[in-house]
Amino acid sequence: MEITINLLPEEKRKRLELEGDLPFGRIFTDHMFYMLYQKEKGWHSAQIKPYEPICLDPAAVVFHYSQTIFEGLKAYYGVDGKVRLFRPDRNMARMNRSARRMCMPEIDEEFVLKALKKLVDIEKAWIPKEKGSALYIRPLMMGTEAFLGVKPSGEYIFFIILSPVGAYYREGFNPIKIYVTDKYVRAAPGGVGDVKTGGNYAASLAASEEAMKLGYTQVLWLDAVERRYVEEVGTMNIFFYFEDELVTPSLTGTILPGITRESVIQMAKDWGINVTERRITIDEVIEGARTGRLKECFGTGTAAVISPVGWLAYKGEEYVIAGGKTGPLARRLFDELTGIQYGEKPDPYGWIQFVP
């Protein structure tokens, strides 16, 4: 499949405003990638075109039954002037994993990654050069066939849009406060908690709003069955660093397999740290915070990379972790990962792909 390229004339392109604090996901570049799927034809009509609204029938499946999946990754301006992507092949593979679970057509991973790189190259002037900023990349697929019966759509749109962003949290790389909820759950066994579908995020909003009203940045989710086992924090995976063990919840089908999570596990093991993927109860976490055995806690994800946790609220009590400060392991992981992403440090794992 060829990619048709239709670019805006220079005089119609938006004026770049990439200085200062960039809001997350509110500014969009001039162009997008777009292609269509029909059951009889497969994927077709691939194009890079001006960023514009999408016209859909009111009966489109996505509106009624939430048949939609997405990914999130970033393009970084390296210190050597080269544009880098961090493990984009893993995002493509995870998107297909989500597609299979949601009964949606798979993409040609190699083709879509090629299209993504082409789009980023066209829009490379939008990539902020300040450390900590990047060009956020959002691929999305949605069912667009118009009908009200409950079954998979036979038609889909896939697109990629780009947004120059600063830090995800206004706190920056400083410890955040999280609220443990046992009232709401994020995902249940046998459900879709381990894929990136829009409904997961819609279901998380009520708990997040309650937490923010109480002065907390994010929600720590517990399992749906016993409300005892820790799962995720907000939209991130979670890690707990005890005296002799770095623990993250095992992937039991309710937790998204994060790419940053996977990278942290690999790096920590290579540094000689005892890394364990297992079920961990909130009681163990609280006891560790009380006794000081819990040395650090942090979330991992594409948007924030590493997000230290300094305070944790559970059942009306607040617990301080690492004195409310960023711990040395979180700092080392953040420095190493961002160093690789911005070309300041060598990439021993081959995680970086360049935009030619």
pLDDT by residue for the chain (356 residues), tens digit each?
999 999 999 999 987 777 777 888 999 999 999 999 999 999 999 999 999 999 999 999 999 999 999 999 999 999 999 999 999 999 999 999 999 999 999 999 999 999 999 999 999 999 999 888 999 999 999 999 999 999 999 999 999 999 999 877 666 678 999 999 999 999 999 999 999 999 999 999 999 999 999 999 999 999 999 999 999 999 899 999 999 899 999 999 999 999 999 999 999 999 999 999 999 999 999 999 999 999 999 999 998 899 999 999 999 999 999 999 999 999 999 999 999 999 999 999 999 999 98
Q: How far apart are CA 263 and CA 280, in angstroms?
A: 20
pTM value is 0.96
pLDDT confidence of residue 171: 61
- Token readout for 105 is 């057509």
Evaluate whether 69 touches 141 at the Cβ level (below 8 Å): yes
The b/e string for 261-276 (b: 16+ C-beta within 10 A; e otherwise) is: bebbbebbeeeeeebe
Phi-psi region of 81 (alpha: psi -120 to 50; beta: other; left: phi over 0): left
pLDDT of residue 170: 64
pLDDT value, residue 155: 98
What pLDDT score was predicted for residue 200?
95
Please give the C-alpha separations between residue 134 and each of 89, 211, 297, in angstroms, as whole numbers: 18, 28, 25
- Residue 17 has a pLDDT of 74
Q: Which pLDDT value is given to residue 187?
A: 94
Chain centroid, CA 1 distance in Å = 28
Q: Which of 156, 124, 119, 154 is nearest to 140 (CA)?
A: 156
